[in-house]
Structure 1
């Protein structure tokens, strides 16, 4: 395949994606990621990034094209996608894709949902567009050939979201292959993002970088091209292209390799714990020791958390509760469990019992765990007052492709996040509707289940 045809091949895939049935196992995985992201959106509307986004779009004007889940708001498709994406990554609840180094759901699902609602597409088409977004978003970052998490000039979390959302929106906007190629040109021009988001202590700009920016850009590009706007061809490869601007060791073939047969949503992870991804394995290990040895906070003399050295800095003694390794390990031992509410309670960071236990925790960076596969392993070692030396190594984190969560586990997580906003009855009906999403004739029929205050 020549480089000049790669963009055209990606565009053709985007243009046809909504019409092509997914294999059953891919459709089920996509349905779970759809539900998981809806839960992140709805719960995130009550967090700071979500609240700021809702307040902003309510000051804008425009036709009521799409709904914002978890609110009574009807607004333009662009604003609905932006606000829902901000809420989806208002914390660390949403999914991730390790190979693509981005969080696909928080940008892809809001973009797809907004356009599907606006254009009254079917549930099956929505699901296919979501899968398409994961496919294109992951390939867009993998093709850059970054040698390490911090080797690129731009953040993969922003770039993957940008192209994933554009592809998902484009798949539902009724574009021809030529128009989809023009959409990719707009996606290339809007590609941005630098990794100083790691300094964000309020998770507002980070929500924009990971979700809101990509969803907004993708829906804008898809609807602008669908309205008749033209763009350039061949934007992804060659001179003056996406890969030439952003790539470290670019691999043009990776942009289109396996499209239609290798589905990147199968490589995506759903989090058991609503906390930063590098902490998942450590929590799995602590909870395993609580279950197997009856461990409590009172038993602990010393705790050593051995972590991959390339990820530890992201979660080491952070000032936000849901991304602080030491706080969450101490909290889990003090409470014997973790919930969405407890992991987001900043006041618990001053709990004397939690602070006392944090003094006994040492985080140890490990080059060996950075290289270990499956990735993101962790080891917890605990010395107890009665002389025991406990150790647990999590090899495959719960929720990853190597240890996937069962559908009932994903639904239980969703219920915990959604019910405080929508109520138990509406939450149950929404979960049932998403479970049966492929039979839904019109995505707009979800509005009464997604929105608050009986709006529809």
Structure 2
């Protein structure tokens, strides 16, 4: 970030935003963002089959309006804000969208908002790429400045992903070409439209959790469009009196919002998913299936199975009533079926399998002291199995495949993921366009590629 930019966090973000360009983004950051954009768009296509994704598409279509942006996977176009709502909801509908080391699911919100506005504006792929990188830089920093996922949950009873709406607003404002003043107004106008009381986690069918990410994307798009039209907003909604940081921030929140802008890019710590399950479950499922394959075991050999995790991760997935975010259910399914794929959904059919029923009664969970000390907000897990013959084996997975600390993923990884996940789509064309995203003259070429064959 230029040393001449000064002032409040909101002013600094806005002034930084209008100076961003594709040419200033390092090559490795652009590559991570290309992968992320394709993965999130593909997740939205798969998520149209989810209950939340289907309902959101029906709602957006029923409202109608100017046909600006595509409902991914279809030929239907709706106003950009409604496309962000529907695609963002579908994006998180199947729990295969990316997560982030800071927590939550910024991609479902930020990427789908940026794609919707980019298509509306007939923007280039380079413009989209720059906007997504910016959106992550804003959204992730604000979440961190408010204490992260567990800080916002425990102190404030709020869902931290609500702050990704600010990232969606920044990305949208950049694509609309707004000046710094209008960027600030867009951020302020977003806060009227994004709410995240943690109470919605009491839901039973994953509809509200999916809808939240879509609504946050829609809020960012709507706010940017309102600012472009002339709506005024608070000039300093983040750092000013009664603003975001005074309401929700941690003591050094202002510094966290602006630290290392332009050198530390938040997309580099974005994570990818390779199974259909809540992210804290991934390492446990990987550890369990590794034990089976390493020791030549099958589900019927398992007498006891224990899952150890960091305390905060366990809080998210311990004995939840929604199967794909319940660690006991998903690990048992992985053991019975020798893994979990992107497309296959083991529930509810597996509930009638007596081997699953037996194993589900034999699984225990607990905080793993070593992992909790090493990574209190991490996503590692340790699985221990005792067999009917008395063999005791254990496997620790420090971070699941796709996690930023485990090493980069590449286009071959996405190829394998989405050939399984979207067999009716032209994955070759989708991945080619992703690799060449900087050279696309009109983002609508990319969105059209996500139609089924």
Q: Same fold (TM over 0.5)?
A: yes
- Whether 1:24 and 2:27 are equivalent positions in the alignment is yes
- Whether 1:401 and 2:404 are equivalent positions in the alignment is yes
Distance 2:201 2:39 in 1: 24
Distance 2:151 2:291 in 1: 32
Distance 1:317 1:346 in 2: 16
Question: 1:102 aligns to what SS in structure 2?
Answer: coil
Distance 2:194 2:252 in 1: 16
Structure 1 unaligned residues grouped into runs of 5+? none
2:254 counterpart residue number:
252
2:298/2:335 contact within 8 Å kept: yes
Note closer, same or farther for the CA distance 1:369–1:149 as it changes in structure 2 (3 Å cut).
farther
Q: 1:226 Cα deviation (Å)?
A: 1.4
Equivalent position to 1:90, from 90, 93, 96: 93
1:437 counterpart residue number:
437
In the TM superposition, what whole-angstrom CA distance separates every residue of 1:407-455 from its partner, at most 9, and x where no partner exists?
Answer: 1112311222222xxx24x2321122112111111111224312358xx
CA-based RMSD: 2.1
Distance 1:153 1:56 in 2: 31
Note closer, same or farther for the CA distance 1:231–1:313 as it changes in structure 2 (3 Å cut).
closer
- Whether 1:139 and 2:141 are equivalent positions in the alignment is yes
Note closer, same or farther for the CA distance 1:54–1:60 as it changes in structure 2 (3 Å cut).
same
TM-score of the superposed pair, with normalisation by structure 1? 0.93
Q: 1:372 Cα deviation (Å)?
A: 1.7
Equivalent position to 1:174, from 167, 174, 177: 177
Note closer, same or farther for the CA distance 1:54–1:4 as it changes in structure 2 (3 Å cut).
same
Distance 2:6 2:197 in 1: 27
In the TM superposition, what whole-angstrom CA distance separates every residue of 1:312-350 from its partner, at most 9, and x where no partner exists?
Answer: 232222232211211221211211121134345322233
2:448 counterpart residue number:
448
In the TM superposition, what whole-angstrom CA distance separates every residue of 1:372-418 from its partner, at most 9, and x where no partner exists?
Answer: 23822211111112321111111122211111352111231122222
2:269 counterpart residue number:
267
1:50 counterpart residue number:
53
Greater CA deviation, 129-138 or 396-405? 396-405
Distance 1:115 1:129 in 2: 10
Mapping of residues 337-348 of structure 1, within 5 Å: 337-343=339-345, 345-348=347-350
Q: 1:187 Cα deviation (Å)?
A: 2.3
Greater CA deviation, 368-377 or 273-282? 368-377
Mapping of residues 147-162 of structure 1, within 5 Å: 148=151, 150-162=153-165
TM-score of the superposed pair, with normalisation by structure 2? 0.93
Mapping of residues 267-416 of structure 1, within 5 Å: 267-343=269-345, 345-373=347-375, 375-404=378-407, 406-407=409-410, 408-416=412-420
- Whether 1:119 and 2:121 are equivalent positions in the alignment is yes
Q: 1:169 Cα deviation (Å)?
A: 1.1
1:72/1:452 contact within 8 Å kept: no
2:221 counterpart residue number:
219
Greater CA deviation, 405-414 or 129-138? 405-414
- Whether 1:108 and 2:110 are equivalent positions in the alignment is yes
Q: 1:149 Cα deviation (Å)?
A: 6.1
Question: 2:74 aligns to what SS in structure 1?
Answer: coil
Note closer, same or farther for the CA distance 1:64–1:452 as it changes in structure 2 (3 Å cut).
farther
Note closer, same or farther for the CA distance 1:133–1:152 as it changes in structure 2 (3 Å cut).
farther
Question: 1:105 aligns to what SS in structure 2?
Answer: helix
Question: 1:311 aligns to what SS in structure 2?
Answer: helix
Q: 1:202 Cα deviation (Å)?
A: 0.8
